[in-house]
Amino acid sequence: MKYSRSNILLMVLLVGAVSGVIFTYNFAIGAHSFETGAATGTLPNAVTVVLAGQVLQPGDYLPLADYSPNYVTGHFLARIPCDSTGKPLVIPVAGHVDELPNRTWLDQAQLNLIEHVSNKGKTCVYHSHIPAVDLTQVGNPGAPRITDIGLLNLSDKNVVFRTGNAMSFTILSVVGNINPPNNYGPGGNMPLPYSCPGSLVTNTCTNSGDDIYPKFPSGTVSFDNGTHAGH
């Protein structure tokens, strides 16, 4: 099963539904420009979500943390279902989910499989450096500025979490805020492919060939042996 970028964005922003109940929603489309961000030490040091009994349907996104407008560094740990090769059945993702689609960038988090505490084919333990752009021996560094962390099911099957499944994130530092010019997408100050020269007003890239936003994981999963260098 394939998912369009617009469908995944909708599932990321509107997680969950209540069957048989009709709601009227009032919502705004905007950025984080009115938020200045928090100082280091004022955010929760760690957050943990127990997953046992949860069911993640195809295309569903399960959020762990949203530090917007702050982008942070830290360590992510997950004990989740995996296949016989050690690949997770759901993808740990990190990046930024913005109210504006063209400023959204969500990618697979860098993953280390912790084999000595994993049981391949059932449950595996993964550690991730958030972000991982300054590490060596990393195949997929993921997004460079992280405000949002969670799990995404890009398979065509439900994933049922077992007893003992959980995910946790511990903050090491608050680096800055994701407001312009630190944003993903048009007008941001990051290099391609994360940002592109363009207009903050129209949210378009000067070169239409650069306009690949929003960005979502491809569905492939990789893990490696990145070290703690840079943290």
Question: What are the per-10-residue average pLDDT scores of the chain (231 residues)?
Answer: 45 39 38 48 79 95 93 95 94 93 92 92 93 73 92 94 96 93 95 93 92 81 59 48
Between CA 19 and CA 131 the distance in angstroms is 37
The pLDDT assigned to 48 comes to: 94
Between CA 13 and CA 79 the distance in angstroms is 24
The pLDDT assigned to 7 comes to: 47
Between CA 219 and CA 104 the distance in angstroms is 17
The pLDDT assigned to 217 comes to: 81
Segments making up each domain of the chain, as ranges: 5-17+45-210
Q: Are 151 and 5 in contact (CB under 8 A)?
A: no
Between CA 162 and CA 77 the distance in angstroms is 16
The pLDDT assigned to 204 comes to: 93
Q: Give the burial string for 133-144 (b: 16+ CB within 10 Å, else e).
A: eebeebebbbbb
- Contacting residues for 46 by C-beta, under 8 A, at least 6 apart: 168, 169, 170, 171
Provide the β-strand partners of residue 72: 146, 174
Q: Are 111 and 92 in contact (CB under 8 A)?
A: yes
The pLDDT assigned to 114 comes to: 93
Q: Are 126 and 78 in contact (CB under 8 A)?
A: yes
